[in-house]
Structure 1
């Protein structure tokens, strides 16, 4: 009887955690990582030259992107001393190797709105706040709730290449140097060797 009660309590706890995390950005990221590993994502991949001009555009299912570890530099003990910046990409089971130029990969359901939003920002904000508390609140939102944001993405020479917006936006470190993973309303965006700025939407209103 006690064992059954204990099992029931654990099930309730697990269900409660799933319910709480179901709207959590951290949970979304975990889910995306599992999905990428098991079956990949339905994605659009684009690379750009230094002037922000597209080099190629590839669309496909079962898309996945990771660091090509065979290019890692190791010491005599076998420990990694410098991580590779070479990307190992698969689209529909076919391999792409990429390094160097700006790359953006985004999941189906996200839309590049660069041509719909001004690329130059001028803000004059006089609201007072407490920086220490702001940092805590912003970290909380990034982990659990996300915030409405506009993401302006540029080439390494500062030329606009893409813009994304979302109501629940969070960003994360990836295992690829010079890259950032972003969750936008439950969809995944990966940017590599990009300059980018994320503005809280309310700041620009």
Structure 2
């Protein structure tokens, strides 16, 4: 009987760890599900090489996906054309830098507008740090600053959050970022994501 109780406790702890180990991953999956079925309230902005906004569209029901019509073949999934559904309407985009932010995110570009100069002389064990950072990305996210630049390196946006995690998307040359439960989609931009402690 005692052995069965121990096994039950170990089993429950294991299930709890598995469930909790993917909190950010689960939130990201939920965001993708929500985006597919009801859309997210988002702002779409495209930028020229000098980081000037070329157009801006706001919508209460926005969905982002790769337009597979332009795939080379059925297996390639290589189309760089984005199909964005805004309510009952749609737009297609390819080429220039684009940022799509969920309502609730704030571009804090002015706070971090200066070039970042980091000097960190603390010793550490890179392999262990890498494992911890990967786990943090999936589990709880980290306190990070995202500096985004146009394709020629001109700064255009900055975001920060206490729980930041990065995810791949099905659109080539794009990244999905979860920032404190809000979704940010970056397409054809240069970017650097720092632990906030490095830039404070």
Q: Same fold (TM over 0.5)?
A: yes
Query: In the comparison of the two structures, how many residue pairs are matched?
Result: 189
Q: 1:188 to 1:22 in 2, by over 3 A?
A: farther
The answer to whether structure 1 residue 121 and structure 2 residue 120 are counterparts is: no
Alignment partner, residue 137 of structure 2: 142
- Give ranges in structure 2 of 5+ residues lacking alignment: 1-7
* TM superposition shift of 1:20: 4.7
Alignment partner, residue 91 of structure 1: 86
Could you give the per-residue CA deviations for residues 82-119 of structure 1, whole angstroms, max 9, x where no partner exists? Answer: 51000000112210000000000010110011122234
- Give ranges in structure 1 of 5+ residues lacking alignment: 1-8
Alignment partner, residue 66 of structure 2: 67
Alignment partner, residue 40 of structure 2: 41
The answer to whether structure 1 residue 53 and structure 2 residue 52 are counterparts is: yes
Whether contact under 8 Å (1:21, 1:27) holds in the other structure is: no
The answer to whether structure 1 residue 186 and structure 2 residue 181 are counterparts is: yes
Whether contact under 8 Å (2:68, 2:77) holds in the other structure is: no
Map 1:145-164 → 2, pairs under 5 A:
145-164=140-159
Whether contact under 8 Å (2:167, 2:175) holds in the other structure is: yes
What SS class does the counterpart of residue 118 from structure 2 fall into? coil
What SS class does the counterpart of residue 76 from structure 2 fall into? strand
Whether contact under 8 Å (2:31, 2:183) holds in the other structure is: yes
Residues in 2 aligned to 1:190 and 1:129: alpha-carbon distance in whole angstroms: 32
Aligned-pair Cα RMSD in Å: 2.1
Normalising by structure 1, report the TM-score: 0.87
Residues in 2 aligned to 1:124 and 1:202: alpha-carbon distance in whole angstroms: 11
Q: Which runs of 4+ in 1 moved over 3 A?
A: 16-23
Residues in 2 aligned to 1:98 and 1:196: alpha-carbon distance in whole angstroms: 20
